[in-house]
Each structure stands twice: as C-alpha cells, then as structure tokens.
C-alpha cells in the first residue's frame, strides 16, 4: 500500500494555473449573470434572448471545463480554494463595469482574501489519497440526494432579501464543492480501472457529477436572482471549498497534513474574513471614475437602472 503523496501548490503547477484561469472565467460569468438576473424572475425563455446572460453562461461553462481539467492535475484541496479568488476578480470586474473605484472595505477584503489564500496554498500539504481508496456508491448516492434536497429547499426562499440570497448561495456552494469532488472521483476511478469506457463505476460517478453540477448551476442562478452579488457570491465562494475539502476526505481519502494546520488554518480564516468584508460592502458607488453607469449608483427594487 502506497502512502499518499504530500505536496504544496508548487507540486501541482499545471492544475494551479488551470484553476486560476477557471476562477477568472467564473468571475466574469457571475457578474454577467447577476447583471442579467438581479431582481428579476428566472424565466428561461426570456433569459435566452439576453446576450448578457448567454455570455455569462458561456464564461461559466468554459470555467467549468477548465476546472475539470484542473482537477485532473491537482487535488480538490488546491483547486477549490483557488476558485475562491473569483470573489476578488468578480468585484474587480464589477468595479470596471460600474466605473466605480473600490472603497476601503473592498480593498481590505481583497487584500485579506488574496493574502489568506496565498498563505494557505503555500503552507498546506494536500494528499491525493491512496490509489485504492475509491468512493462508496452508497455514500455517493447520499451526497447526490443531500444536494438535491438542499437546493430544492433553497429555491423556496423569497426574492429581494439578503437572507434569501445568502441561503441560496450557501446551498449552491455546497453543491459546487460536492460536484468538484465527484469529478475528481471519476478521474481517480478511470486511472484505477485503466479502461474507463467500459467501467460502470466510472460512468456512475460521471452521471452523479453531472447531476450535482447541474443542480449547483441552478442554485447559483437562484442566488443571483434573489439579491445583490455581494450577498450571494461570498456565500457560494466560501462554502464551495469548505464543503469540498471534507467531501474529498470522505470520498477520496484526500487530506491536508495536520502538522501544518498551525499555518494553513489561520491563513484560511484570514481568507474567509476577507470574503466577509467584501460581502459587507454596499452597491452604492461612492468613488466613481469617468462617467459612472446608472447601475453603479442606485437601483430600483426590480434591479433596473
């Protein structure tokens, strides 16, 4: 029996670069989708006629493909925390879109988030798990069922209030984290069997990953439509890695070296504090540059300029 390989972010350069690219694509996609959905009912027939929503979907879909590629080269415990950087990138894109400079709270939150994530990735020592540690089908079905129930209950919340956006963001984040682990599980099963095309367990994991990923996307749409991006995106961003890391431990045997917890634990906490600070910033533009868009100042209850 081989011991799992432990290594920091430097041991997974390809996966790290791909995860950063995925974070950029997710950030652009989230801003475009939020702009198209904010304060409006989710009506697919109307949305498919909105170029902004379609562009957001294209960016998100591209990010998902790049994320899948990243999970083939790096552990979940590296890829998913890196995707949290989408929070900072998204607010930067939002600032450019609204032509409004970030406030002090946003700058402090961005510094804490980036600094915390950087320290976490430099000090954490993730292991991809033993090659013979494969997911239990019963546990996989339990994860899928749990995600369906969570997002289904979140969909019953009302629009237009911060709690609803946060609840939907939390459930979508949990679903996204679980989807990433199931994708990684499928890669592991394929490598273990050596003949994925005829391996029933591989296709079972692929199907489970697709279902959970679709549910996560539905949950994110619900979150974006229920309130400000500053409410929904932080909840989604924080819960994604928080759910993915223990799920990877359960399904894949991945772990973080406990002896380094004194370093990566506080770093992760700083990153979470940064995300919370970013979440507490308002949508009112106090430092416009050039000619600010109407959306950067005030919006009516329907979310229209």
For residue 11, the model assigns a pLDDT of 73
pTM value?
A: 0.73
Contact criterion met (CB below 8 Å) for 230 and 285: no
For residue 74, the model assigns a pLDDT of 85
How far apart, in whole angstroms, are the C-alpha atoms of residue 268 and residue 270? 5
Secondary element (H or E) of residue 102: none
Q: What residues form DSSP beta bridges with 100?
A: 288
For residue 7, the model assigns a pLDDT of 56
Residue (of 284, 271, 243) closest to 87 by Cα position:
271
How far apart, in whole angstroms, are the C-alpha atoms of residue 276 and residue 281? 9
As separate numbers, helices (DSSP H) first and strands (DSSP E) second, the chain gives: 12, 2
For residue 41, the model assigns a pLDDT of 55
For residue 290, the model assigns a pLDDT of 61
Token pair listed for 30: 């989230």
pLDDT tens for the chain, residues 1 to 305: 444 444 566 678 898 899 999 999 988 987 887 777 665 555 666 667 778 888 888 998 899 899 989 988 888 888 888 888 877 888 788 778 777 777 788 888 889 988 988 888 888 777 666 666 678 899 999 999 999 999 999 888 776 666 788 888 889 999 999 999 999 888 888 877 666 667 788 899 999 999 999 999 889 888 877 777 667 777 887 888 888 988 988 888 887 776 667 778 888 889 888 877 876 665 566 666 666 555 444 443 333 33
For residue 302, the model assigns a pLDDT of 33
How far apart, in whole angstroms, are the C-alpha atoms of residue 235 and residue 165? 9
């Amino acid at each position: 029996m081989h011991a799992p390989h432990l290594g920091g972010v430097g041991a997974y350069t390809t996966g790290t670069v791909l995860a950063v690219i995925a974070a950029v694509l997710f950030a652009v996609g989230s801003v475009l989708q939020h702009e198209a959905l904010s304060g409006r009912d989710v009506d697919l027939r109307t949305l498919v006629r909105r170029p902004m929503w379609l562009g957001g979907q294209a960016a998100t879909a591209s990010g998902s493909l790049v994320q899948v590629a990243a999970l083939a080269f790096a552990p979940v415990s590296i890829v998913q925390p890196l995707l949290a950087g989408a929070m900072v990138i998204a607010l930067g894109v939002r600032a450019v879109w609204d032509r409004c400079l970030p406030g002090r709270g946003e700058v402090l939150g961005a510094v804490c988030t980036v600094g915390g994530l950087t320290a976490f990735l430099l000090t954490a020592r993730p292991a991809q798990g033993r090659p013979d540690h494969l997911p239990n089908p019963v546990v996989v079905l339990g994860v899928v069922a749990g995600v369906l129930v969570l997002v289904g209950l979140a969909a019953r919340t009302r629009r237009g209030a911060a709690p609803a956006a946060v609840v939907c963001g939390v459930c979508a984040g949990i679903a996204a984290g679980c989807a990433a682990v199931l994708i990684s599980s499928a890669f592991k099963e394929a490598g273990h069997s050596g003949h994925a095309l005829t391996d029933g367990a591989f296709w079972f994991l692929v199907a489970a990953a697709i279902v959970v990923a679709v549910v996560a996307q539905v949950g994110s749409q619900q979150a974006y439509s229920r309130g400000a991006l500053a409410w929904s995106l932080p909840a989604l961003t924080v819960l994604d890695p928080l759910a993915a890391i223990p799920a990877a431990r359960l399904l894949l045997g991945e772990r973080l070296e406990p002896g380094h917890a004194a370093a990566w634990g506080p770093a992760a906490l700083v990153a979470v504090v940064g995300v919370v600070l970013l979440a507490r910033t308002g949508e009112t533009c106090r430092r416009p540059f050039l000619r600010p868009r109407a959306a950067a100042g005030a919006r009516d209850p329907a979310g229209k300029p």
